[in-house]
Amino acid sequence: MLGTYYAQAKFASQQGAVRTYTVAVPKQVTVALFADTQLDVSTPIGAPVATETASILIPTLDSAGQTIYLRVE
């Protein structure tokens, strides 16, 4: 894949206060997470995630799927 492609995560489910969103990405590429929000975003261990910029690179090396957990407040 050449160039830039933007895919919005779609709401998948909610359990209590936790909402789950999903997005499909091509296999065997590295994608950049772009959190377009003014809310505070962090990893499960509390490390801040930069928003409104491509801040996390995620390799999708196989077709098994990958889960990335983020906390948004």
| Domain boundaries defined on the chain | 10-72
Give pLDDT tens digits for 25-69: 777 778 888 888 888 888 888 888 888 888 778 777 766 667 777
Q: What is the pLDDT of residues 3-20, one digit of tens each?
A: 677 788 889 999 998 888
Is residue 1's pLDDT more than 50? no
For the stretch 2-7, contacts whose Cβ atoms lie closer than 8 Å and that sit 24 or more positions apart, written own/partner, are 6/34
pLDDT for the residue numbered 34: 84
Q: Which is nearest to 73 in space by CA: 32, 38, 25? A: 38
Question: How high is the pLDDT of residue 50?
Answer: 87
54-60-61 Cα angle (round to 5):
140
In the beta sheet, which residues pair with residue 30?
Answer: 59
